[in-house]
């Protein structure tokens, strides 16, 4: 079967390359008995992929069952999966077969595998490795022939670090990993999916199908879609029922679904120790780090120009730095840098702190100088606003770590010596 025929059979709509890659992996692994781990955000259609794998496998005529591990209480999940004996626990009035026993020869889809308790994970690992399981309350081992497809919407590696998921089980499940792309990663499919849902709901409610203007379409494409396809389907149903006009303008769209006004803006992702920092604090820290990068870049440029005695033909970039040329092709010479960091054919930038930072000079080519010479003017690299931000970040870091300079310096990306000098420079009371 071709990918297009598979899409038609299972109702998969989309033309994005990421979707095709995931579906192609599912098709290739289907004829085997390998364990598959499907990952992706909630609402992307992970269960559909499990059905594709089962229907294209030699087990397609045998049972298929989907189990949400997060929906089964921790105290009963072992009984649900592996069965129990009469009297094994209160309420066990008789023997009961578990899913691994009843689906023998078929496929089990374990959704939200990250929610599975640790003791159940150990039992599942035994099933995957040897095909054996033991009913709750029994001492007799039984055999089963079941293919396992697992799915998760969380990062299992993070759960492993927290001790909430077995590492050996993770490697056993992820023999073939499949990543189902989120809707924000396949924006070219939003229009197609909306049209499909709009037609479906028009038939369901016996109404005319709604249509989007170009501006409304742009709003949908710029939205982050945290609920993915499930959320898009719900939005389409809302509009199909509540929109008085079948041509949905941005005004109508945002009136009925105001959450779409939240655009897909970039967010700052930092270390775990930055979780308690406000957005303003993080911005200060980024500006503080960028200042050093800009100073290093300036030093590198001036060093390269001076050492290689380069002729500057296009002065447009230098004009942006405040340089005023008298004419083109004026050689830049006689610059003696404070710090030497060009060695051989390699460039080794140096990170400067406040005291050993080079004092750069910006060269102005004066129109009034008839001889074409240039005058040097000292460049002021640090603005007062950055000084205030720097001081504010140092105070916040010291307060966060109770004046422990070592931890505060690590937070700010400085050495203890540099932090000590800056504390004295800004007269910060510890």
Give the C-alpha separation, 154 to 129, whole Å: 24
Query: Is residue 177 domain-shared with residue 188, that is, in the same domain?
Result: no
Query: Is residue 40 domain-shared with residue 165, that is, in the same domain?
Result: yes
- Is 136 inside any structural domain? yes
- Is 269 inside any structural domain? no
Query: Is residue 358 domain-shared with residue 257, that is, in the same domain?
Result: no
Query: Is residue 47 domain-shared with residue 64, that is, in the same domain?
Result: yes
pLDDT at 363: 41
- Is 318 inside any structural domain? yes
Residue 274: pLDDT band with limits 50, 70, 90 = very low
Query: Is residue 91 domain-shared with residue 162, that is, in the same domain?
Result: yes
Q: Select, from the ranges 176-190, 277-291, 410-424, the one with the highest average predicted confidence (pLDDT).
A: 176-190
pLDDT at 385: 57
Query: Is residue 139 domain-shared with residue 244, that is, in the same domain?
Result: no
The percentage of residues in the chain with a pLDDT greater than 70, rounded to a whole number, is: 73
- pLDDT, one tens digit per residue, over 211-253 is 999 999 999 999 999 999 999 999 999 999 999 888 999 999 9
List Cα–Cα distances, 279 to 52, 264, 286, 396, in angstroms: 43, 17, 11, 13
For the full predicted model, state whether its pTM sits above 0.75.
no
Query: Is residue 394 domain-shared with residue 371, that is, in the same domain?
Result: no
Query: Is residue 38 domain-shared with residue 162, that is, in the same domain?
Result: yes
56 or 380, greater pLDDT: 56
pLDDT at 152: 96
CA angle 322, 323, 328 (to 5 degrees): 150
pLDDT at 329 over 60: no
pLDDT at 315 over 60: no
Residue 278: pLDDT band with limits 50, 70, 90 = low
pLDDT at 58 over 70: yes
Give the C-alpha separation, 284 to 275, whole Å: 15
Across all residues in the chain, what is the average pLDDT? Answer: 79
Domain boundary among the residues 205, 233, 261 is at 261
- CATH classification of the domain holding 397: 1.10.10
Give the C-alpha separation, 45 to 233, whole Å: 12
pLDDT at 106: 96
> If we measure between CA atoms, which residue out of 320, 341, 371, 15 comes closest to residue 191?
15
Residue 279: pLDDT band with limits 50, 70, 90 = low
- pLDDT, one tens digit per residue, over 188-204 is 999 999 999 999 999 99
Domain boundary among the residues 196, 229, 261 is at 261
Half-sphere exposure of 314 (CA within 13 A, CB side): 2
- CATH classification of the domain holding 249: 1.10.8.60
- Is 270 inside any structural domain? no
Query: Is residue 172 domain-shared with residue 199, that is, in the same domain?
Result: no
Are 362 and 354 in contact, with CB atoms under 8 Å apart?
A: no
- Is 248 inside any structural domain? yes
Q: Residue 15 has which token pair?
A: 């033309």
pLDDT at 348 over 80: no
The domain tally of the chain equals 4
Query: Is residue 39 domain-shared with residue 175, that is, in the same domain?
Result: yes
pLDDT at 272 over 60: no
Provide the 8-state DSSP code for 270.
-
282 or 409, greater pLDDT: 409
Which runs of consecutive H residues, i.e. helices, occur in 88-166?
A: 99-102, 118-130, 156-161
Counted residue by residue, the chain has a size of: 430
Give the C-alpha separation, 232 to 417, whole Å: 54
Q: What is the domain extent for residue 105?
A: 3-181
Give the C-alpha separation, 160 to 154, whole Å: 11
**Strand segments (E) across 73-231:** 107-111, 132-134, 141-143, 147-152, 176-179, 211-212
pLDDT at 101 over 90: yes
Query: Is residue 361 domain-shared with residue 418, that is, in the same domain?
Result: no
Query: Is residue 70 domain-shared with residue 165, that is, in the same domain?
Result: yes
């Amino acid at each position: 079967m071709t990918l297009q025929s598979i899409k038609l059979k299972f109702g998969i709509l989309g033309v994005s390359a990421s979707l095709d890659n995931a579906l192609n992996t599912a098709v290739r692994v289907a004829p085997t008995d390998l364990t598959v781990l499907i990952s992706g955000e909630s609402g992307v259609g992970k269960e559909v992929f499990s059905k594709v794998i089962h229907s294209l496998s030699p087990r397609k005529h045998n049972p298929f069952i989907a189990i949400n591990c997060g929906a089964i209480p921790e105290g009963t999940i072992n009984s649900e999966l592996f069965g129990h004996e009469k009297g094994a626990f209160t309420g066990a009035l008789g023997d009961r077969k578990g899913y691994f026993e009843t689906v023998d020869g078929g496929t089990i889809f374990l959704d939200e595998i990250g929610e599975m308790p640790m003791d159940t994970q150990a039992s599942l690992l035994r099933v995957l490795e040897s095909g054996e399981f033991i009913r709750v309350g029994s001492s007799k081992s039984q055999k089963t022939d079941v293919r396992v497809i697992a799915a998760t919407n969380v990062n299992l590696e993070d759960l492993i670090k927290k001790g909430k998921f077995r590492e050996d089980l993770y490697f056993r499940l992820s023999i073939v990993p499949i990543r189902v792309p989120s809707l924000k990663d396949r924006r070219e499919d939003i229009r197609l999916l909306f049209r499909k849902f709009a037609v479906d709901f028009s038939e369901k409610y016996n109404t005319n199908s709604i249509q989007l203007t170009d501006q409304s379409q742009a709003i949908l494409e710029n939205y982050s879609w945290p609920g993915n396809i499930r959320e898009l389907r719900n939005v389409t149903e809302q509009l199909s029922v509540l929109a008085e006009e079948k041509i949905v303008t941005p005004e109508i769209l945002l009136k009925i679904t105001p959450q779409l006004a939240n655009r897909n803006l970039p967010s700052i992702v930092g270390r775990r120790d930055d979780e308690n920092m406000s957005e303003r604090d993080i911005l200060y820290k980024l500006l503080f780090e960028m200042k050093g990068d800009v100073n290093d870049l300036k030093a590198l440029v001036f060093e390269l120009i001076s050492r290689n005695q380069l002729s500057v033909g296009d002065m447009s970039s230098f004009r942006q730095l405040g340089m005023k040329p008298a004419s083109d092709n004026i050689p830049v010479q006689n610059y003696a840098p404070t710090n030497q960091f060009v060695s051989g054919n390699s460039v080794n930038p140096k990170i400067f702190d406040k005291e050993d930072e080079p004092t750069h000079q910006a060269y102005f080519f004066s129109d009034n100088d008839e001889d074409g010479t240039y005058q040097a003017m000292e460049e002021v690299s640090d603005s007062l606003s950055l000084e205030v931000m720097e001081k504010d970040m140092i105070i916040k870091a010291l307060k966060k770590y109770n004046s422990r300079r070592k931890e505060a310096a690590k937070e700010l990306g400085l050495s203890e010596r540099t932090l000590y000098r800056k504390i004295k420079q800004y007269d910060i009371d510890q």
